[in-house]
Amino acid sequence: MTTGKSVLIIGLEPTRIDFSLPEFAASPGLDAQKIQAALDADESTLKNLGYEAEMCLTDLGATAEEVVVAHLHRKHFDCILIGAGLRTISKHFILFEKLLNVVHEHAPTAKICFNTKPSDTAEAVQRWI
């Protein structure tokens, strides 16, 4: 168990994800409800491990940077995870770069980590804090 280390999980708001993209071909039946359930489970797992975890879900770019900046200014985060939905969907690559640079600028001491799927979020965080 950890004691109060803070974690911010940045990802796309699940209802904004286009599940018809080629990146989802290997995951038939995946939808916004299943993604949201996985995100909720991730947050719960981190809290059960003793982390102060919170979600920061964004749109596809119109306000994403501002939303992340607002979260980063609200409190100090020891670790920031940027989810696979932002990193692995080629259509969102530029948004991923922008948000990575926002994190770098506004939370320069935070460790940055990445998951490969919702079920390995805790492992990604534990690699760094």
List the CATH number of the domain containing 76: 3.40.50
**111: phi > 0 → left, psi -120 to 50 → alpha, else beta; which?**
beta
Lowest-pLDDT range, 3-12, 59-68, 95-104? 3-12
Note if the pTM is more than 0.85.
Answer: yes
Q: Is 36 domain-assigned? A: yes
Confidence of residue 97 (pLDDT cuts 50, 70, 90): very high
Confirm whether 88 is domain-assigned.
yes
94 falls within a domain: yes
Mean of the per-residue pLDDT values of the chain: 94
Quote the domain boundaries for residue 110. 6-128
Angle at 95 (CA atoms; ends 116, 34), nearest 5 degrees: 45
Residue 1: inside a domain, yes or no? no
Residue 24's pLDDT is what?
A: 87
In a domain, 115, yes or no: yes
11: left (phi over 0), alpha (psi -120 to 50) or beta: beta
pLDDT the model gives residue 50: 96
Number of domains in the chain: 1
Q: What is the pLDDT of residue 52?
A: 97
- Specify if 19 maps to a domain: yes
Query: Per the domain annotation, does 64 fall within a domain?
Result: yes
- Residue 45 is assigned to a structural domain of this protein: yes
Q: What is the pLDDT of residues 22-81, one digit of tens each?
A: 988 888 899 999 999 999 999 999 999 999 999 999 999 999 999 999 999 999 999 999
Structure confidence at residue 2 (pLDDT): 52
